[in-house]
Amino acid sequence: MALFLEGATGSDIKRPELHPYTSLNAARLKLSGSAGFWPLPFLQPNLILPFLEPKVLRFREEEPEEPHPSRCFDSAEELAALFCKWDRQGLLGFTFENHEEWMKVRVFNARKNDLCDRQTGDRRRDFYHQIMISREKAACNPVGPRISCQDALAYAAGREILSERSPKEREAAGDGLFEVARQSALSKGATRDKLPPSVQPCFTAILQGDHGGVEFATSAHEGLLVSGGLLHEPTRILNHHPFPSGSELQGLVIDDYFVITQEPAERLREIETEGPRANTLCRERLEQALEVYKKHGVIGSPEKDVANALLFTVAGAQVDSTRRALRQGLVTAASPAEKRCALSWATLSAAALPVTSRGLLERLVGSWVHCMMYRRPTVSCFSKIYKVIHSEEAQAFDQDEIFRLPRAAADELVVASILSPLMASNLAAKLQPRLFASDASLAKGAIVSTPLSESEAELLWRTAERKGGYSKLDPAPRAILRGLGDPELEEDVLAGLSPGPSRNPLLQFDFVEICSGSSRISHFCVQAGLAVCPPLDLELSRQYDLLSADVILWIVEMLREGRLLSAFVSPPCTTFSPAAHPALRTYQDPWGDHSHPKVRVRNILAQRALAVIFTARTYGRGAGGEQPRRSKMGRSSSHRLKALLGQVCALTLASGAYFGENFVPVSLLLYRLPPQLRLPLACVRLKRFAANWLRLAILLAFCHQADASEPEHDMPFFAWSDTQCEPFFISPPRAKDAPYSLPRPASCFISGFLLAFALSGVLPKTDSNRQIRLEEVVSANGLDAECVNRLVIDFGQFLFRNGRPYGHFSELINAISSVRPILRKQLGGAWDLAYNWLALEPHVHHIALPGLVLIAMVTTCLVWGWTREAGLFALMWGGLCRPGEVITACRKHLVLPADVLGSQVFALLRIEEPKTRKRAARHQAAKVDLPDLLEVITIAFAGLEPAQRLWNVEREMREKW
């Protein structure tokens, strides 16, 4: 750099701009806000618990092996000035918790301008100071050494935590940020008059530099703006999503919210004249965001707000839509012009030198690549410069050591500097309505094209920049071998190779123990090398309370997203224990008295523990639970079978029967089958009539009367099933002196015959002999119409008794009429049977929508703000309307109680073109008299104009419905 800055003096090199980070100087720090914004309601669910309790991100407290910040060597005077600045803004707190030195945060200055600096905290661990944080999160921001309690009384925060007021007084006053820590210290042996001799100062907000702070700030900022009606999906710019279309674009970059709108060219003079005061959509969105910030107490920087700008920088891109650019037909987006100008001057100066350093080249090339991304064809300027940076000669030198700069690489730097004005994209460029495709084969090559519509071309252009999957090109030798058809290079052969190591996703755990107590399972999981979440137990942190909706929401969301692979729950069993005194539950009423506080809390905890297990099973995650010894939730349904088994035992004793039990593993029971076997078993379904006949046949085949005095035969009864159940034997009683013998042949024959009769199938030959050929009856000479009628009627009755559809019988009559037209008017008896069939079984029927499903649909629509859709569902269901009758209706066709001054308590919908107008009434109306549905309909349609449709969609959409 000394060679590069020709004529620079030592004072120039030591300018403050070249040293952005300095040690702590409390006088230059600028702090905005006082941590008055509570972000928890706006965070996405998987960030809730890491925000409330940072210890959830680490299971063991061990000093990291990687480099971490140096120990705090700031003077006591600077730390005292820093604590005073924090205390004035309510950002100072104290904790009794002891911290190792490597766990503490070092605060330093980051240059902002000539007058002030930013505050940054760094400790390179689980790390915006306008955001309020929990007590546990604040306790993870210890700064500086511990100070005595006497010194802590000099600060308002110290006087608060060391106050001699009782806990009830402090609770009534609503203060005490660290009362939990103070009470914890008192519970560990310290008396009220003898607290620990020192306390640890800490920062009670998110530090700028906190690694998790960016995630918390971005998520909370996003949720805050969405709650205020901003950041709509069709207009929002999102990473890995198609670029939105339209005249409005919204985006969020951590704490910077921006809106870009397209205004008519006729308003250019108005915007230039009035500036930020011009009434534009951009100004409206900015005022809407400022109103949301003001409502929730978020303090920003008004001096940085920009409104109605024609030349502005957003997300690192400078957009130029000034009059000068518009006259040339340009609206450019590029890296800021001052940056490119300074970079060109520095690059030309560096290219003129015979030597350079690797650090200088890497910084210059990296800066140019960023500028080239706004006009990607310019990346072809660099080729030799990459080889120079990655050459063995350059890699042998340190970052600041100099070596010879080849002239070919210097020429590429000069070309990039010259082309810097062209590194910009024209946002006003028109799309060519044609799609081009090129051939990537080695032997042939072609470029083809096809015309596109404007909408198709715009869609392809907006989605063309999405990043696809990584695919490595073959080197030249491998490409030649593949072209020759080398079998060793086929894709299926290469697919068998073991994949490389994959990067573990962030915030993912293999196991978590909930309400664990001793956490023995977690200990062994850590020894097995699993990624274990810290046990969620109230004894470890008050933020792990399962009664909190935030904790249960975090667990459910982690299970749903697959970030939590397994869980083990130990429900609290204090009040459920039989030894509990006084007893709050009974075996007859295990839920106990819900009005008792302990019973109510334990019931909620037990239900939420079961909810976690159910959620895990729903999403295919592993889940287990500790079960009380006397619980009736066993591995089988023996509790529910208790009454039935008692009856079986009584009948067994009365009849003198003896049965042998063959117990089977629980895993073979039908209700515990693995998921891959449930579907095939569920496919074996029978209609009711067939199931009844099958049951009767099996009963007749297997069951025989047992006489206690003189049995007819002693063949054991052997019943079995293919549903993974074991055999079950039962035999008639046998006299004590009767010798054991094998079944007699007659008994075997009778039982075998009945079994064969019930289970054997009909052979095709036997089936064909039993059939009467329809062709023979119809085509016979001397056709008797009465005989045909009798046969068709008998066959129709057979179809009706066996549950076959009406269409089979009607199509049979039509087929006979088409084969022999002479019988068309002589099948009156058959048609009479058909009409009687329709009278007993209407052929026009639909399954009604269940009421619970309707409630769920209407509730979902109301929650999402789809009031018209909710009204449509209520009107269709309550008035028994067809979808087409409702979506084509207008407000004038609907008569609500308010339209007739409350003289009726129902709603009427006039149907313009009824579907049944040719066989029923020509003028029809639907009536809705259910009060709940009527209220939903009133909310949805009461405010519409008479000519407005009940469903305001395009005609094409209505026709699809």
Q: What is the arithmetic mean of pLDDT over 260-272?
A: 86
- Percent of the chain whose predicted confidence (pLDDT) is above 70: 64
97-119 tens-digit pLDDT: 776 666 777 788 888 887 888 77
Instruction: Flag whether pLDDT at 902 surpasses 80.
Output: yes
Measured CA to CA, the distance from residue 778 to residue 374 in angstroms comes to: 83
Which residue matches tokens 């089977």? 664
- Tell me what pLDDT residue 548 has: 78
Beta-bridge mates of residue 731: 658
Higher confidence at residue 646 or residue 126?
646
Characterize the bridge pairing of strands 622-625 and 566-569.
parallel
Residue 877 is encoded by which pair of tokens?
């269901």
Beta-bridge mates of residue 450: 435
Residue 7, sorted as left (phi over 0), alpha (psi -120 to 50) or beta, turns out to be left
Give the ranges where 118-260 is alpha helix by DSSP (H): 135-138, 149-152, 156-161, 167-173, 179-187, 213-227
- Tell me what pLDDT residue 672 has: 43
Please list, in sequence order, all residues whose beta carbon lies within 8 angstroms of the beta carbon of residue 369, skipping any fewer than 6 positions away. Answer: 379, 382
Instruction: Flag whether pLDDT at 390 surpasses 60.
Output: yes
Please list, in sequence order, all residues whose beta carbon lies within 8 angstroms of the beta carbon of residue 349, skipping any fewer than 6 positions away. Answer: 4, 6
Measured CA to CA, the distance from residue 714 to residue 744 in angstroms comes to: 8
Q: What is the arithmetic mean of pLDDT over 762-785?
A: 60
- Tell me what pLDDT residue 825 has: 78
Whether the Cβ atoms of residue 320 and residue 330 lie closer than 8 Å to each other: yes
User: Which pLDDT band, with edges at 50, 70 and 90, does 591 fall under?
Assistant: confident
- Percent of the chain whose predicted confidence (pLDDT) is above 90: 8
Instruction: Flag whether pLDDT at 193 surpasses 60.
Output: no
Measured CA to CA, the distance from residue 930 to residue 905 in angstroms comes to: 9
- Tell me what pLDDT residue 497 has: 47
Collapsing DSSP to helix, strand or coil, 803 comes out as coil
Whether the Cβ atoms of residue 84 and residue 157 lie closer than 8 Å to each other: no
DSSP for 731-792 reads E----TTSPP-PPPHHHHHHHHHHHHHHHPPPPHHHHHHH---HHHHHT-SS--HHHHHHHH
Instruction: Flag whether pLDDT at 610 surpasses 50.
Output: yes
- Tell me what pLDDT residue 640 has: 61
**Distance of CA 356 to CAs 18, 351, 926, Å?**
20, 9, 86
- Tell me what pLDDT residue 611 has: 82
Which residue matches tokens 């066989």? 919
Whether the Cβ atoms of residue 297 and residue 290 lie closer than 8 Å to each other: no
Instruction: Flag whether pLDDT at 432 surpasses 90.
Output: no
Measured CA to CA, the distance from residue 603 to residue 572 in angstroms comes to: 9
- Tell me what pLDDT residue 194 has: 52
How many CB atoms are located within 10 Å of the residue 799 CB? 17
Indicate the DSSP class of residue 45: G
Which range among 136-150, 154-168, 174-188, 458-472 shows the weakest confidence by mean pLDDT?
174-188
**Distance of CA 930 to CAs 192, 811, 849, 862, 942, Å?**
65, 43, 16, 18, 17
536-580 tens-digit pLDDT: 877 777 777 777 777 888 888 888 888 888 888 877 766 666 666
Higher confidence at residue 901 or residue 124?
901
Instruction: Flag whether pLDDT at 467 surpasses 80.
Output: no
Instruction: Flag whether pLDDT at 634 surpasses 90.
Output: no
- Tell me what pLDDT residue 341 has: 93
Residue 368 is encoded by which pair of tokens?
């140019």
Whether the Cβ atoms of residue 883 and residue 961 lie closer than 8 Å to each other: yes
Collapsing DSSP to helix, strand or coil, 461 comes out as helix
pTM of the model: 0.53
- Tell me what pLDDT residue 580 has: 63
How many CB atoms are located within 10 Å of the residue 250 CB? 21
Highest mean pLDDT among 119-123, 514-518, 905-909: 905-909
Whether the Cβ atoms of residue 706 and residue 695 lie closer than 8 Å to each other: no
Mean pLDDT over all residues of the chain? 72
- Tell me what pLDDT residue 254 has: 80
Q: What is the arithmetic mean of pLDDT over 297-314?
A: 82
Instruction: Flag whether pLDDT at 463 surpasses 90.
Output: no
CA-nearest of 685, 698, 798, 716 to 757 is: 698
Phi first, then psi, for residue 118 (nearest 5°) are -90, 150
User: Which pLDDT band, with edges at 50, 70 and 90, does 727 fall under?
Assistant: very low
Instruction: Flag whether pLDDT at 8 surpasses 50.
Output: no
- Residue 334 host element (H or E): strand 332-334
Measured CA to CA, the distance from residue 523 to residue 518 in angstroms comes to: 9
Give the CA diameter of the chain.
127
CA-nearest of 102, 109, 43, 47 to 78 is: 109
DSSP collapsed to 3 states, 253-318: ECCEEEEEECCCHHHHHHHHHHHHHCCCHHHHHHHHHHHHHHHHCCCCCHHHCCCCCCEEEECCEE
Highest mean pLDDT among 54-63, 522-531, 749-758: 522-531
Residue 805 is encoded by which pair of tokens?
């559809």
Give the ranges where 373-404 is alpha helix by DSSP (H): 384-389, 392-395
- Tell me what pLDDT residue 64 has: 53
Measured CA to CA, the distance from residue 102 to residue 68 in angstroms comes to: 8
Measured CA to CA, the distance from residue 893 to residue 914 in angstroms comes to: 13
Instruction: Flag whether pLDDT at 813 surpasses 60.
Output: yes
Instruction: Flag whether pLDDT at 581 surpasses 60.
Output: yes
CA-nearest of 864, 863, 883, 865 to 873 is: 883
Indicate the DSSP class of residue 250: E
Which range among 89-98, 344-353, 637-646, 819-828 shows the weakest confidence by mean pLDDT?
637-646
Measured CA to CA, the distance from residue 213 to residue 120 in angstroms comes to: 12
Instruction: Flag whether pLDDT at 683 surpasses 80.
Output: no
Higher confidence at residue 68 or residue 297?
297
Q: What is the arithmetic mean of pLDDT over 255-283?
A: 85
Listed by start position, the domains of the chain span 29-213, 337-426, 512-625, 657-735+744-757, 766-840, 851-960
- Tell me what pLDDT residue 5 has: 38
Residue 749 is encoded by which pair of tokens?
């024959």
Measured CA to CA, the distance from residue 709 to residue 722 in angstroms comes to: 35
- Tell me what pLDDT residue 759 has: 44
CA-nearest of 845, 840, 770 to 801 is: 840
Cα 291 to its chain centre, rounded Å, is 30
**Distance of CA 737 to CAs 653, 716, 936, Å?**
20, 19, 81
Instruction: Flag whether pLDDT at 670 surpasses 60.
Output: no
Instruction: Flag whether pLDDT at 79 surpasses 80.
Output: yes
Measured CA to CA, the distance from residue 527 to residue 521 in angstroms comes to: 10
905-959 tens-digit pLDDT: 899 999 888 887 777 777 889 999 998 999 999 999 998 998 888 887 765 555 5
- Tell me what pLDDT residue 346 has: 92
Measured CA to CA, the distance from residue 824 to residue 813 in angstroms comes to: 9
- Tell me what pLDDT residue 735 has: 42
Whether the Cβ atoms of residue 733 and residue 652 lie closer than 8 Å to each other: no
Please list, in sequence order, all residues whose beta carbon lies within 8 angstroms of the beta carbon of residue 484, skipping any fewer than 6 positions away. Answer: none
* 582: preceding bond cis by omega (within 30 degrees): yes
Which range among 9-23, 242-256, 539-553 shows the weakest confidence by mean pLDDT?
9-23
Which range among 371-385, 657-671, 723-737 shows the weakest confidence by mean pLDDT?
723-737
Measured CA to CA, the distance from residue 347 to residue 352 in angstroms comes to: 9
Measured CA to CA, the distance from residue 463 to residue 466 in angstroms comes to: 6
Higher confidence at residue 195 or residue 788?
788
